Structure 1
Amino acid sequence: MAARSCRPLLPDPKARPTISVPEAGELLGLGRSASYEAAKRGDIPTISIGRTLKVPTAKVLHLLGLTA
């Protein structure tokens, strides 16, 4: 039986240009509430579409020191 990794996979910015705030927070090691608080403070870059917040995948990868 193969071991499962608990680490989230890094999304490809070309395939998924945006991700949800909780997904971005998970990549950064944050929980759901902390993710939305960080987005509200501007620590996680977001795009507002109506009442929906999306996070540009490339910007999250840049925050992690990875190239998009």
Structure 2
Amino acid sequence: MTEHQPALMTIPEAAKFLGLSRASAYRYANAGQLPTKRYGRRVYVVRALLTESLTLNDAPEVEAA
């Protein structure tokens, strides 16, 4: 059985997930480098977009034979 994760995470949760300091995560969020969604005054990181961007950025480049 897979564990269900919330669709949104706080910036400190995202920092822990990424292994960053809290301040760095806020800096990346403010710079638009984390996929965020604002609800009222609160800012959340969209988990699916974050994991997707990590997967796309970590994909090894394959050279044509």
The normalised TM-score by structure 1 is 0.68
Asked whether 1:22 is paired with 2:12, we answer yes
- 2:37 alignment partner in structure 1: 47
- Which residue type is aligned with residue 42 of structure 2? T
Q: Which runs of 5+ in 1 are unaligned?
A: 1-10
Q: Which runs of 5+ in 2 are unaligned?
A: 57-65
Root mean square deviation, CA, Å: 1.9
- Which residue type is aligned with residue 45 of structure 1? P
- Equivalent-residue separation in structure 2 for 1:22 and 1:40 (angstroms): 13
Which consecutive segments of 4 or more residues in structure 1 shift more than 6 A? none
> Between Structure 1 and Structure 2, which shows a larger proportion of helix residues?
2
Identity level (%):
33
The normalised TM-score by structure 2 is 0.71
- 1:8 alignment partner in structure 2: none
Partner SS state of residue 65, structure 1: helix
